[in-house]
Amino acid sequence: MLKPESVVIIGASRDPDKVGHVILQNYVNSGYSGRLYAVNKSGEEIMNFKSYKSVLDIKDKIDLAVIAIPAQFVPEAMEECGKAHVKSVIVVSGGFAEIGNNVLQDKLVHIAKKYDMPTLGPNCLGVMDPRSRVDTLFLPTFKLSRPQVGGVSFVCQSGAVGSTILDLISGEGFGLSKFISYGNAADVDEVDILNYLAGDDETKVVILYIEGIRRGKEFIEVAKKITRKKPVIVLKAGRTSAGASAAMSHTAALAGNYEAHEAVFRQYGFTIAEDISDLLSYAKIFSTGKYPKGNKVAIITNGGGAGVLTADAIGLSDSLALGKFSENSSMKLRSSMPQLVNIRNPLDLAGDADGKRYDDALSAISSDEGIDMVITIALFQTPGADSRVASKLISFSEKTRKPMVVLSIGAEYTKMHRIMMESAGLPVYDSPSAAVRSLSKLLKYSDYMAKR
């Protein structure tokens, strides 16, 4: 499904407003190098593609069929796929269990089982893999930017939330391994997908948006397995009765009791997100692959107030603490810092701090055993901060074994530097609490790995 050598779009259309048109268009634009076929009842030519009336007419082995036709016609199309020995199916069409049409959905599951043909959906966006260039999303690229290649795989029950988060990922430095939107989970579900990703070497970090879990026992099994290999960040929707009832009419998911879900997530080392932005914040830090040895944090800042707010965020955290610089570090700092700089943590380098001062400060504490993680605050509005600061932070982060994040808040000039640092693999945050929560989650997963 993710590395198909041949794909057929069933419901490909000339009409640019039709889902089947956008999917075919995206395949053509993406540079997909496999064999591509279009199926349309009218058999008309579409975008220079010969169109077949049925998948049975295609004289080739098909790895993946993407079905984008009205719900009532889906079973027939799947039957034809089964007879044509199509290996896997994605049904993007909606109109099944999510609107109470369980009978139609059951038919679809029955056909999938009969032909042993794994089927994703219905009511989903399908899959995207920037390496194989598979992209079944029916959303044009001008609306939804596609992320670069990376190590984060994103599993999402919802379609729109999926596309939204994917769009956000396109602005992040870490890049995407796989995107899998599985909708109603009629056949292939979160358990199958996590099993697959556990063994996928291209996937270093998994993020998961989930509304309900069908197979509790199997979920626990795969949870145990996958979190031993890679971090999984989960956002569970339908936590409250208001949300659960909305989830029911969205993907027909039984949201279940959130506390029970949370207990399972915690026990098996999942990292729990409270909001969409958490998913990205946590994926960013986990993507670095660096883990802390302890809970002591150093704050290096060019803005006193931002240092105070970050110290507060650490004080409010349930796991992190401010470290104390060793005598050796303090001596080094005293000899390299201007007289006005107080040698304490948070270390306020002052508004005129330039790249060299950051480098001196970071070097001074780099081998300090009392410091396990570093939050470097670089406010690019200040007189001393420019691209040389960003460069020094990047080169230091490449050398150090301590997890390090940057906090930079601001408009255009800041964003430019943020992109510069993130594309070099250095996580940048835009609020003290996001930086602190992310480091705290990193530590928790690190502790989980050490204890298991």
Place of tokens 């990047």: 394
Q: Which of 107, 204, 230, 250 binds its own copies (CB under 8 A)?
A: 250
Subset of residues 300 to 329 that bind its own copies, contact rule: CB under 8 A? 302-309, 311-312, 314-316, 322
Of 60-68, 106-114, 220-228, 271-279, which part binds its own copies (CB under 8 A)?
271-279
Residues 91-130 that bind its own copies (CB under 8 A): 94-95, 98-99
Q: Kindly identify the residues of this chain, within the stretch 197-216, that bind its own copies according to CB under 8 A.
A: 209, 211
**Closest distance to its own copies from the beta carbon of 451 (Å):** 27
CB of 109 to its own copies, least distance (A): 21
**Interface pattern 276-305 for its own copies (x via CB under 8 A):** xx------------------------xxxx
Smallest distance, its own copies to C-beta of residue 210, A: 10
Q: Which of 38, 134, 237, 442 binds its own copies (CB under 8 A)?
A: 237
Among 2, 90, 117, 139, binds its own copies (CB under 8 A): 139
| 374 belongs to the binding site for its own copies (CB under 8 A) | no
Q: How far is the CB of 374 from its own copies (least distance, A)?
A: 16
Query: Is residue 152 a contact point for its own copies (CB under 8 A)?
Result: no
| Contact positions with its own copies (CB under 8 A) in 155-184 | 156-168, 170-171
Place of tokens 């082995």: 61
Six-digit token string for 27: 């395949």
| Span interacting with its own copies, options 57-65, 218-226, 263-271, 430-438, rule CB under 8 A | 430-438
Nearer to its own copies, 366 or 433 (CB): 433
As measured in angstroms, the least distance from the Cβ of 352 to its own copies is 9
**8 Å CB contact between 147 and 255:** no
Amino acid type, 437: R
By C-beta, is 94 or 231 nearer to its own copies?
A: 94
Residues 41 to 80 in contact with its own copies, rule: CB under 8 A: none
Instruction: Map residues 382-421 to x or -, x wherever contact with its own copies holds by CB under 8 A.
Output: xx-x-----------------------xxxxxx-------
